[in-house]
Amino acid sequence: MHSDTQTGPAAPPEASAHPDAPGHVLAVRGAVIDVGFPGQTLPGINDALEIGAPGAPPVLAEVQAHLDRDSVRAIALQATTGLGRGAPVRCPGGPVSVPVGEAVLGRLVNVAGQPGDGLADFAADVPRRPIHRAPPDFAGQSGAEEIFSTGIKVIDLLAPMALGGKAAMFGGAGVGKTVLVMELIHAMVASYQGISVFAGVGERSREGHEMLLDMTGSGVLGRTVLVYGQMNEPPGARWRVPMTALAIAEHFRDERGQNVLLLMDNVFRFVQAGAEVSGLLGRLPSRVGYQPTLATEVAALQERIASVGGAAVTAIEAVYVPADDFTDPAVTTIAAHVDSTVVLSRAMAAEGMYPAVDPIASSSILLDPLVVGEEHARVALEVKRTIEHFRELQDVISLLGMEELGAADRRIVGRARRLQRFLTQPFAVTEAFTGVPGRSVPVAETVAGCRAILEGECDGWNESSLYMTGTLEEARSKEEAARAGGPAA
């Protein structure tokens, strides 16, 4: 039974647990550890604990509940193998703190800020920062209005991203979320001069190794920090890895005044880890089995991503959609916090339309004439309208064929199919598999190309000339080459 100490008045500041308060382990149940502090002031919720294990480094844990006046329940952030009752417990004081600043650039660290790249440990004088922190005051935040150009046609046209905003890629398994995030990293390396922080949350270890090798090979690792809590780690580590990445990003934003690009793959795994932790702590599940604190946990993460003063944290997040169900509570909760929503479609991936971004379902609050300009907004709206009209006619085409459509509808269908193909694009990160060099297209070229297709300039072209190209001029060259070479080309 919980005592009334948990809901009573807050303790005065001076009554926090002594940094070396002697505690001891009362029970270990997997990742859940009960710790006793007889006669001591209990550490606060979210405070760190260091638990001694014989012949091994101390295990890091985080307080999640006060059980009574003398004991707390904690979640381990590292494996608890070898821990036993009576093991000594130390309170460092305050939440888990991680190294930040210049020292972590080019490094791979875990949830506790310890190196995972086989290089030297961080020096004792490296500044550290707690992973838990209140979001910046609303009055101190600056709005996100400057466009963050990615060079990816379909995103820049239909779901433009904001510098200092939050963009999320939603998609089921195997539709290309990680490839899209990798391409965004690659596309921004040349033009983006800030710091990048990548949080690998609950993803495969293989993907972590590939990311490290790719970044080392492309020479961008020097401006990047990789923070990993992988699938094979305890739920506590996967749950807190985004907080570690945020602490590092906030240091560069606040103390150094630098823009930070925060990439998270995959935010759904953060929610999933939170649900595991909630179950381990014995909380009753809520909708669809998720934790009752789902909205609070997602808000605690997302509200810290903001622009303050002249420096911005721009977030690009991959979000797994379980069983392609976009009404899933985790997906809808995350979607409520983002500015740009990029929805990946399994049907488009099956047709070979890569990136498989659904042009109708994807949206952005920045797709406004006052932000992107009248021409961009008009062309984007017309592209969506044309593709939507084509989708409405698809059942008729499947049953009766194109011949049964009127001349106007046939023209719209032809232009919609050409638009869909023009919005495909070869990626630099897939060049090793496809043999096709990646393309980065300026926004103005994308808008001009779509406008030309909408106006009928490409009505007589082969659809294949527009597929997997960069600019319209490149597609024009392919079309001319095909015509010059005849049917065999």
Residues labelled as active-site residues: 177, 203-204
Backbone dihedral region of 396: left (phi > 0), alpha (psi from -120 to 50 degrees) or beta?
alpha
Residue 73 β-bridge partners: 34, 65
CA pair distance 369, 353, nearest whole angstrom? 28
Task: Identify whether 355 is preceded by a cis peptide bond (ω within 30 of 0).
Answer: yes
| Other CB atoms within 10 Å distance of the CB of residue 336 | 11
Complete edge-to-edge strand list for the sheet that includes strand 166-171: 108-109, 224-229, 195-201, 260-265, 313-320, 166-171, 340-343, 363-364
Tell me the backbone φ, ψ of residue 87, rounded to 5 degrees: -60, 140
Query: Comparing C-alpha atoms, which of 453, 380, 399, 374 is closest to residue 421?
Result: 453
254 CA to centre of own chain = 21
Which of 190-195's residues contact partners 24+ apart within 8 Å by CB, and which partners? 191/149, 192/259, 192/261, 193/259, 194/223, 194/252, 194/258, 194/259, 194/260, 194/261, 195/105, 195/223, 195/224, 195/225, 195/249, 195/252, 195/258, 195/259, 195/260, 195/261
Whole-angstrom distance, CA of residue 243 vs CA of residue 304: 9
SS3 at position 300: helix
Question: Cα–Cα distance between 359 and 342 in angstroms, integer?
Answer: 9
- What does the buried/exposed string (b/e) look like for 316-333 if buried means 16 or more CB atoms within 10 Å of the residue's CB? bbbbbbeeeeeebbbbeb
Beta bridge partners of 484: none
- What's the CA gap between 422 and 311, in Å, rounded? 35
Q: Pick from 49, 1, 47: which is nearest to 23 by CA?
A: 49
Rg (alpha carbons) of the chain, rounded to whole number: 26
Residue 138: CB partners within 8 Å, gap ≥ 6?
none
Altogether, the residues listed in the chain come to a count of 489
Q: Letter for the amino acid at 373? A: G
Q: Are 133 and 247 in contact (CB under 8 A)?
A: yes
Measured CA to CA, the distance from residue 6 to residue 42 in angstroms comes to: 11
d(CA 99, CA 107): 11
